[in-house]
A and B are shown apart, each in its own frame.
Chain A
Amino acid sequence: MTVEIEVDSVSKHFGQVTALDDFSAVVKSGEVTCVLGDNGAGKSTLIKILSGVFPPDEGEVRVDGKKVRFMSPRDALKQGIGTVYQDLAMIPLMSVWRNFFLGTEPTRGVVPFRNLNTSWAKQTVVDEMGKMGIHIRDPEQRVGTLSGGERQSLAIARAVYFGARALILDEPTAALGVKQAGVVLRYIVMAKRRGLAVIFITHNPNHAYPVGDHFVILKRAQVEGDFRKEELSLDRLMQMMAGGEDLSNLVEELEQLATETGEADLAAAAHGIKDEVEGLHRLEGTDHRDETSA
């Protein structure tokens, strides 16, 4: 059941563009590894390498110490790496249990009379979701009528049920409101407690920090930082993510330009940005304190 995935100096290029440059990280069972980064930082390239969509150009991926080279997502799942994409691959008009088993239906009987084991399938869905603390009232309910958080959790439960030891979650909270994001975050913690290795891809430090054990920050295709939770405060994580350093540089440049040209507007703009950055940090810091106390 336990698994250790080592990503060792992995790079991927698309023509002239380097999408991922010398990425290394270790992902372990019973841990949530958060990969944080802005759009275009290389998160989706990393997901695609780990989930078997394409192999890396350089470097290697090792699962339990053995080098692997996935040729397809099915290949990756055979090694126990399941990916839950943002679009979920769920069909809204189909019921919960039909969605859960779509493509891998449980059957009984011999060929001309082989039919779906519906009662078993329904019970299994209810049980699997129950293990993760989500009560499904009616497995015949259509997925379209589930809340966003429940739908995400169902997709995760499906990946786990079909053999995932390591879970890659691609922005699972991005499209969700605060309450629904909470449902998914709780589910992530439950998955970790069950001994799964969770790779949580997100751009939101407020969602990553409370559940993460290990944080990898991606910026412009490179690893900007790799921290254990003990080494990192939310404020520091926030600052790295909000591009705090970039903005400080911008403020400096604007101030310099203002003194050179003597334009009052520019100086005011620089001040405005400075205030906003500080205000943002204060605001997000308080938000977080509220969340942890609740």
Chain B
Amino acid sequence: MTEESAATVAGDEREARRSVFKRALSRPEFGSLVGAIAVLTFFSWRADTFLTARGLANVLDPSATLGIMAVAVGLLMIGGEFDLSAGVMVGATATMFALLTADAGLNIWLAMAISLAFAVLIGLFNGFMVLKTRLPSFIVTLGTLFMILGANVGLTRLITDTVIVSGVGNVPGFDFPFKIFAANPVGQFRITVVWWIVMTALATWVLLRTSFGNWIFGVGGDAQAARSVGVPVAFTKLMLFVYVSVSAWLVGMMNTFRLASASVSTGIGQEFEFIIAAVIGGCLLTGGYGSAIGAAIGALIFGMVRQGIVLSGWDSDWFFLFLGVMLLIAALINQIVRKKAEEARS
């Protein structure tokens, strides 16, 4: 009798402990957190300079702008859509802004506002096209990617005869927006890191603590079901596309103020880096599942690997091998997670 009850108590405790562990496991960002710790440990051991202030600043710098985009793309993926034009939008908003202010002599703030409006428009265009045509967003935004890239290179060459717009640093009123978008407020750490943290926190709050966040999960999980219970599916998806384009504008401004110039080639090919970072962070390619923090951690892993390989004295080409392996592992883990979450227990 006593033996039996003791066994039950032990069983309950084991049950409780397992459920805490299970709960941690069931967080979408769990895998990426483990991965980030592993990568950090590995490169701290390989390269002495990795864990110095300078080393960390060099890791966080590329992670920050990538992270801002990965979080936005991650939310869009949770909402069930892709945006392949996100990469070239970084370059396009930047050159547009630079042309307007450095070349055409427009007020710096006005030029920023116009390029922001352009970003909003492209986001709305992507969203409307996907919703109206019912084509996969993968194809629609692939079209947008090439349209924007072509128009950007063509127009910039037509106007300036080059593919780089320089001279932004000489525009009156440059200093204040420079402080907002590109300064180093603490030592070697850029202000972009602050933006990254704030945007990730904001996205997390929206996703987990607002009605809109619940709608994102709903439209990505099953748009038809979400519509039938009154979720404004079109509105939700449109806002997500706009959020991604506006994020691209933000990163475009950061790059332009930092370099005092804008190049049309900025961001080409990066659309996949955003998606990869989001997938490493636990966002499902099929939608309905994922987290903003996960996508941010995915971007951090990116930055650590890129910097770690350089500091370890290896050729930077190895980065892509590492990246491919990481992506496959993450995708496999996500698949298992999805199966576990969806399988009926009868």
Contacts and interface: CB of A to CB of B under 8 A. Distances in A.
B284 to A, nearest CB: 8
Interface string B248-286: 000000000000000000000000000000000000100
B313 interface: no
A44 interface: no
Nearest to B206: A115
Interface stretch (B97-105, B115-123, B221-229, B294-302): B221-229
A92 B342 contact: yes
A144 B342 contact: yes
B211 A91 contact: no
A151 B343 CA distance: 13
A22 interface: no
A116 B214 contact: yes
B341 A102 contact: no
Contacts of B210: 107, 114-116
A146 B343 CA distance: 9
B344 interface: yes
Chain B, interface size: which category? 20 to 34
A205 interface: no
A262 to B, nearest CB: 53
Contacts of A85: 228
Interface of A: 73-74, 85, 87-94, 98, 101-105, 107, 114-116, 118, 140, 142, 144-148, 151, 177, 180
30 contacts: A73-B228, A74-B230, A88-B225, A89-B224, A90-B225, A91-B222, A91-B225, A92-B342, A93-B221, A94-B218, A98-B218, A102-B218, A102-B229, A102-B231, A103-B215, A103-B229, A104-B229, A105-B211, A105-B214, A115-B205, A115-B210, A118-B209, A145-B340, A145-B342, A145-B343, A145-B345, A146-B344, A147-B344, A147-B345, A180-B346
The 10 closest A-B pairs by CB, nearest first: A103-B230, A91-B221, A144-B342, A103-B229, A105-B211, A89-B225, A115-B209, A93-B288, A89-B228, A147-B346
Given A104-B230, A147-B345, 7 more contacts: A91-B218, A93-B221, A94-B221, A103-B226, A115-B209, A115-B210, A146-B345
